[in-house]
Amino acid sequence: MVENLTVNLGERSYPIHFGRDVTSAVRAQVDILTAEGRKLVFVTDQNFARCQTEALRTMTGDHPVLVLEPGEETKCLAELGRVLDFLAEHRVDRGGALFAVGGGVIGDLAGFAAASYLRGIAFYQVPTTLLAMVDSSVGGKTGLNLKAGKNLAGAFHQPRGVFIGTDLLGTLPPREFAAGMAEVIKTGLLGDADLFTQLEHAALTVNHPALAPVIRRCCALKARVVEADEHETAKEGGRALLNLGHTFGHAIEQVTGYGVYLHGEAVAIGLAAAARLSQKLGRIDAAAVARVETVVIAHVLPVRLRSPLPLAALMAAMARDKKVRAGTLRFVVLNSLGEAITQGGVAPALVEESFREVGAAD
């Protein structure tokens, strides 16, 4: 059975469909659009195309499919050009639609292509990783990475619908599942203390009966945040809170060239660094920091860099973060375990010390 949750954004509102197997629901949407005479294309990656061949065939029918290389390196200008050319090649017009079937990389890249092509066409998200299900498929942030930094090019472009099926996680590698748990832990820390406590008592696995309710819970919290601050313009708090751990994590990804750490692994280290910064700012104590790191480790995620990275390079990458305003970087810090706030004017020395404690080197 497929359940729904609505992201309420006025004329841009859309449903999130939840179920174990949503392939038939996706195909039903495809058939409706096809009957209306709309041209449809799909974008996915090689891992999903190889491991979930039947599911992909069920969803796509005979519509064109572009299969891209997996990995964060695909979120680049060259691959954006490939998707745009693919849309043009198949003569997709303004009434057409793109279906993004994959993890966060595919959703972000294909969504940005949909936002850019003909100045915007419809697109649908079919997330196939835990990270995409609980975070990147919801909220309309699309984009790609530049050499200068993570997600520095992009657009707000809401999908017309999101289809979340937990059966699609059956072939997800354990490392990718763990990476998705970083975003689940983040959700608990920033706005759902009960969820964080639940994760303290029992680590989630792909077969855990609580997984589906937790995914829905994460989506519901993100929907509420997005509804209140769709374009991340709030002076304090708002959608920026969803970046807890990401300012540190994005710097780690950029310095390592996007190929060493999965996004969720970098965010996990970022959560540890953000917790330590929060302690230095006097907002939480050492025991709370330890609780954060214990939950992260319990979900097979790192809290330290695998090998030292240059502190100067990390700080330089952080200074190019898209959350810089008027030359000042705002941090998302913990006021408690379950409540995050944004804070500007943080002394660089405290940030540097937090980076050192997770493995950065002078």
Supply the residues annotated as catalytic.
119, 141, 183, 222, 236, 239, 243, 246, 250, 263
Q: What's the order of all strands across the beta sheet hosting 40-45? A: 3-7, 14-19, 161-165, 122-127, 97-102, 40-45, 65-68
User: In this structure, what token pair is assigned to residue 139?
Assistant: 């909220």
Q: How far apart are CA 271 and CA 317, in angstroms?
A: 17
Q: Which residues fall within 8 angstroms of residue 266, CB to CB, at 6 or more apart?
A: 248, 249, 250, 252, 253
Tell me how far apart the alpha carbons of residues 14 and 235 are, in angstroms, rounded to a whole number: 26
